[in-house]
Amino acid sequence: MEDIPKSHPRYESLMTRKKISDAMKKGLVHETGLIAHGRGEAFDYLIGEKTIPAADEAEKIAAASLIIAKNPIISVNGNVVVLTGMECINLSEEIPAKIEVNLFHRTDKRMKLLTSELLNLGASKVYGLKGDARIPGLDHDRGICDSDGIFSSDVVLVPLEDGDRCQALKNMNKTVIAIDLNPLSRTAKTANITIVDNVTRAIPNIEKWVKILKNEDKNSLEDLISRWDNRKMILEVCAFISKKLNLLF
């Protein structure tokens, strides 16, 4: 990997793979996180590896929702900490929002490793280790959360989510903002706001929108959010991909 020249057309992508694979060897990323990353790459390829207009709009609405939230939180897992840990901290400070480590493959070791990683990157507080509450209706470990973290939040940003938890969080009357490159996933279809973009582009872009919208009055932000049609946006992403494929053949 070290021998790959910067001029290689897939340099960025190959270096990101190396980052994920090194983090797996250190125990931060679960081995199935590599598979999830591969699926993400495939969908990213289909949207041209850039933020498409539908995603930019979703990122704007996500920013508005996070600004007006009473108790917003960013839920992070292994892949997210490794790919965008610093950016998540910056976003959490700008909103401001809490950060909680929440894992599908939860072990004490991974929880501690990922929490330390975020603290070393400069996070002032990281939720998740206490694990004193449960999201109702979720039998697996992603249901474990902190009572003063995800459990009591009103708006949750969940990059790389699984559909089960997304639905369970909605059942708790929370607003769920998902980042998922797969527009056909259960998560994409279930979330209130779905961002079909790479987490590495989405998090900084949400932060950009938070900076732009922060001083807008609350009513105009609520108005913006009330006009959001998530299903329409997913159809737009699918149309974008189909058009791209049609142009090829």
Give me the helix-helix angle, 31-46 and 230-248, nearest 10°: 70
Asked if 51 is part of the footprint of ligand PTJ (rule: CB under 6 A), the reply reads no
DSSP 43: H
Instruction: Give me the residue whose beta carbon is nearest to ligand PTJ.
Output: 40
Among 181, 213, 221, 237, binds ligand PTJ (CB under 6 A): 181
The one among 23, 33, 66, 194 contacting ligand PTJ by CB under 6 A: 33
Distance between CA atoms of 189 and 184, rounded to whole angstroms?
A: 7
Instruction: Tell me if 165 contacts ligand PTJ by CB under 6 A.
Output: no
Nearest approach, Cβ of 200 to ligand PTJ (angstroms)? Answer: 6
Find the binder of ligand PTJ among 51, 75, 115, 182 (CB under 6 A).
182
Distance in angstroms (rounded) separating the CA atoms of residues 109 and 115: 10
Residue with tokens 């940003």: 157
- Is 157 one of the binding residues for ligand PTJ (CB under 6 A)? no
Does 30 bind ligand PTJ (CB under 6 A)? Our answer is: yes
- Residue 45 C-beta-side C-alpha neighbours within 13 Å: 9
- In the window 200-239, what residues touch ligand PTJ (CB under 6 A)? none
Residues 6+ apart with CB under 8 A from 172: 135, 136
Is-contact 83 199, C-beta < 8 A? yes
Question: Under the rule (CB under 6 A), what is the footprint of ligand PTJ?
Answer: 30, 32-33, 36-37, 39-40, 43, 77-79, 83, 103-105, 160, 162, 179-182, 185, 198-199
